[in-house]
Chains A and B, each alone.
Chain A
Amino acid sequence: MNSKHVATAQDHSQTDSVLSALADGELPAAEFDAVFGASDAPDGLHLRWQSYQLVGEVLRGQAPAPGGRPASAFLAGVHARLQAESGVAPGPMTVTPPAPVEESLALPPSRGRAPAANDAVFRWQLVAGVASLAAVMAVSWSVLGSGAPGTAVPDQGAQLALVAAPAAPAVAPATVVVQTGQGAVIRDARLQELLAEHRQYGGMSALQMPAGFLRNATYDAAPQR
């Protein structure tokens, strides 16, 4: 027996349940347009979807990864990276649609950066010739030169040249690595710590508010003490 509801009520619930059916992979192609229809505020769409996903995960007993961030922050981070790469004028979702890529899964070549064309080219440098995983790692130190005291410190103009050919790695004896609960991977722990302190206690500048403070809070390492 076909227990159909009254037609209008059924239609109404069909429209509302579009997102739910999509989550189950049970949405007929013809109804797909309704997913992104204007009826729901764009924000409502994301929140509902996230909620549906979470309900399923909880019911299946799937715990989130430790130290994960809330979905909205994670997604905003993805947007920010995409915007930065494509150099498009900012605004929510003003990201260029993906274009075909020659090599699948290969890292895109150096991306055009949005600001001045003469950005300092600045890499997370280890050994020459290793393409850094750009835009993944937070800012980190790059060694320009080492040697006995009195060695001339290269001026900025020579940075690029130095960086291309690796300096003789006469590095200091074993750098102290700060152990955190999660087993931190820190390249030069001490410099990172001091950098954090320089920013926290040393930002004596008219530009500290707001730009300096916001910059520091955006990517300072945790105060590991």
Chain B
Amino acid sequence: MNPDDHTAPPPPDSDAMLVQRTLAGELRAFDLLVIKYQRRVERLIGRMVRDVDLVQDIAQETFIRAYRALAQFRGDAQFYTWLYRIAVNTAKKQLMELKRDPLVFQSQLKSAEDDETSAPERELNAGVADTETPEAVLASKEIAEAVNAAMEALPEELRMAITLREIDGLSYEDIAQALECPIGTVRSRIFRAREAISARIKPMLERQTGKRW
């Protein structure tokens, strides 16, 4: 298939494909979904539940429940919208449990009621939350600095391509038009930009994990 063929159908939604692959037995596909959405789910639940440790458990439970209900996911909807609902439901159930607990200090719980109407689209990009700990800021600061340093070291054409993709959210086709080059080239440049930046942050990630990956 010629990657420059503009009459080809648009590429399928990655998330939908990963779900399909998971259902077909390729469990690494589910891993990729978890890795992709972990932090977003944590942020979402963190707005509903104050206890940091509880956030972790609810976030993991969200993916468990998503896994179990995966066959129910219909590819026409956005995967994250579906996952969002699961996360909110899981958190709400947990909060209801806690509210019934006479021993729990009520004022420690944030209210989950507001989230009835909020939708994934209205999620703000998280700035520094008021409960952000210096440690989290430090770790992400290190990585952020490495990413920025790597960006600056990139050849102009690579930096342009990845900026248009990640920050401006343009599709490959739109980027190809903007840069007046074939889509294949766009794909290749973004890939090379990512690899160059990854080379700098991978050691940090490996350090975090104790070489688990």
Residues on A close to B: CB < 8 A?
A: 2-5, 10, 13-14, 16-17, 20-30, 32, 35-36, 42-78, 81-82, 85, 93, 95, 97-101, 104-105, 107-108, 126-127, 130, 132-133, 135-138, 169, 171, 175, 177, 181-188
CA distance A141 to B18 in the complex (A): 40
Per-residue 0/1 for B166-197: is the Cβ within 8 Å of any A Cβ (1 yes, 0 no)? 11000110000000011011011011001101
The answer to whether B36 touches A49 (Cβ under 8 A) is yes
Tell me the nearest residue of chain B to A58, going by C-beta: B147
With A68-B42, A101-B68 already in contact, the answer to whether A52 and B194 are too (CB < 8 A) is yes
The answer to whether B104 touches A187 (Cβ under 8 A) is yes
The answer to whether A183 touches B71 (Cβ under 8 A) is no
Known: A28-B8, A46-B28. 16 other contacts (CB 8 A): A3-B182, A14-B3, A28-B3, A50-B35, A51-B201, A52-B198, A66-B46, A77-B60, A97-B24, A97-B25, A107-B93, A126-B100, A126-B102, A130-B100, A177-B108, A188-B103
The answer to whether B198 touches A133 (Cβ under 8 A) is no
Shortest Cβ gap from B160 to chain A (Å): 13
The answer to whether B52 touches A66 (Cβ under 8 A) is yes
The answer to whether A98 touches B60 (Cβ under 8 A) is no
CA distance A5 to B22 in the complex (A): 35
CA distance A28 to B184 in the complex (A): 12
With a cutoff of 8 Å between Cβ atoms, the chain A residues found around residue B182 in the complex are: 2-4
Shortest Cβ gap from A108 to chain B (Å): 6
The answer to whether B209 touches A64 (Cβ under 8 A) is no
Number of interface residues of B (CB under 8 A): 110
CA distance A130 to B69 in the complex (A): 23
Tell me the nearest residue of chain B to A221, going by C-beta: B53
With a cutoff of 8 Å between Cβ atoms, the chain A residues found around residue B23 in the complex are: 97-98
The answer to whether B29 touches A65 (Cβ under 8 A) is no
Per-residue 0/1 for B1-41: is the Cβ within 8 Å of any A Cβ (1 yes, 0 no)? 10110001001111101000111111111011011101100
